[in-house]
């Protein structure tokens, strides 16, 4: 198991962004679905060791990120793409990916080849020495993916990775995810249901800081059958059905 989360909570002031999440993830592609504000980003941030939890237990790659040494070890094996990624405009694509490869403590001798591989994997081979300020939003997102995968991470955390990508690029991206999912744990947070359907072996649906569904995409689809929930595709209907059920339960309780 690369990720073991037990009753994890994160509060900001009085808001509970993440309210007692428990899950486990081994190798494979794991989808994290949910509406905006569901707590997906905060959960991902905690797994990226960027945000400490308020309470609960977190084990990443068999280590406790609370300690300085283990946290550094985790970060060497981690790939993270935040939802908002700023870019220093004067860097080229290769500069940017190389910079973060070095900051991940990659041995310098391996860096150039790893950088080249990552840039080709995201399809930016003809833009490697182009300055970031000249790139479109979708290309910048792909640069972000490249820095996340450059160190062949065992744990890959991607927050809205397909934002700005056109359909063809999204297909290629899902292939990349599946490849990574064979050796590593890939957790993709997205509000695009079709991303999940195509690439993920497991799905968790979050709402208001809690996990309201955990299973395979097929199981989620099944929840939508015959429920009359909104949605154009079966998986979307499952998504809506589960959300509706979860919210009515909450309403009934309060």
Site residues, other proteins (CB under 8 A): 10, 12, 15, 17, 42, 45, 48-52, 72, 75-76, 78, 80-82, 84-88, 90-91, 94-95, 98-100, 102-105, 108, 111-113, 115-117, 119-123, 125-126, 128-129, 142, 147, 165, 168-169, 172-173
What residues are paired with 19 via a beta bridge? 9
| CA of residue 134 relative to chain centroid, distance | 26
CB of 144: closest distance to other proteins in angstroms? 8
CB of 33: closest distance to other proteins in angstroms? 19
Query: Between residues 78 and 241, which has the closer beta carbon with respect to other proteins?
Result: 78
Task: Give the single-character DSSP code of 63.
Answer: B
Contact predicate 41/79, CB 8 Å: no
C-alpha dist (Å) from residue 5 to 18, 22, 39, 113: 12, 5, 14, 34
Query: Between residues 118 and 229, which has the closer beta carbon with respect to other proteins?
Result: 118
CB of 227: closest distance to other proteins in angstroms? 31
Query: Between residues 151 and 221, which has the closer beta carbon with respect to other proteins?
Result: 151
The full DSSP string for 14-59 is TEEEEEEEEEEE-SEEEEEE--TTSSHHHHHHHHTTSS--SEEEEE
Query: Between residues 77 and 223, which has the closer beta carbon with respect to other proteins?
Result: 77
Query: Between residues 80 and 239, which has the closer beta carbon with respect to other proteins?
Result: 80
CB of 82: closest distance to other proteins in angstroms? 4
Residue 161 CB partners (closer than 8 Å, separation 6+): 81, 141, 144, 145, 173, 188, 190
Angle at 73 between CA 162 and CA 38, to 5 degrees: 40
| CA of residue 51 relative to chain centroid, distance | 15
Query: Between residues 124 and 235, which has the closer beta carbon with respect to other proteins?
Result: 124
Give me the phi and psi of 22, to 5 degrees please.
-130, 125
Query: Between residues 192 and 222, which has the closer beta carbon with respect to other proteins?
Result: 192
CB of 1: closest distance to other proteins in angstroms? 21
What residues are paired with 26 via a beta bridge? none
CB of 215: closest distance to other proteins in angstroms? 28
CB of 238: closest distance to other proteins in angstroms? 28
């Amino acid at each position: 198991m690369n990720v073991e989360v037990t009753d994890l909570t994160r509060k900001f002031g009085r808001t509970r962004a993440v309210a007692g999440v428990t899950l486990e993830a081994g190798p494979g592609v794991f989808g994290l679905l949910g509406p905006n504000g569901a707590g997906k980003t905060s959960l991902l941030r905690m797994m990226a060791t960027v945000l400490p939890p308020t309470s609960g237990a977190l084990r990443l790659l068999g280590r406790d990120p609370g300690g300085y040494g283990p946290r550094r070890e985790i970060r060497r094996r981690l790939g993270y793409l935040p939802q908002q990624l700023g870019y220093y405009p004067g860097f080229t694509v290769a500069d940017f990916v190389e910079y973060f490869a070095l900051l991940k403590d990659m041995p310098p001798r391996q860096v150039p080849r790893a950088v080249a591989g990552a840039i080709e994997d995201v399809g930016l081979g003809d833009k490697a020495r182009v300055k970031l300020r000249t790139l479109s939003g979708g290309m910048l997102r792909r640069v972000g993916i490249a820095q996340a995968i450059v160190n062949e991470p065992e744990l890959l955390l991607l927050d809205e990775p397909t934002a700005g990508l056109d359909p063809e690029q999204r297909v290629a991206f899902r292939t990349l995810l599946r490849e990574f999912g064979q050796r590593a744990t890939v957790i993709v947070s997205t509000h695009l249901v079709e991303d999940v359907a195509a690439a993920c072996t497991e799905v968790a649906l979050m709402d208001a800081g809690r996990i309201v569904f955990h299973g395979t995409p097929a199981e989620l689809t099944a929840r939508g059958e015959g429920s009359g929930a909104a949605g154009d595709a079966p998986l979307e209907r499952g998504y809506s059905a589960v959300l509706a059920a979860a919210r009515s339960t909450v309403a009934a309780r309060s």
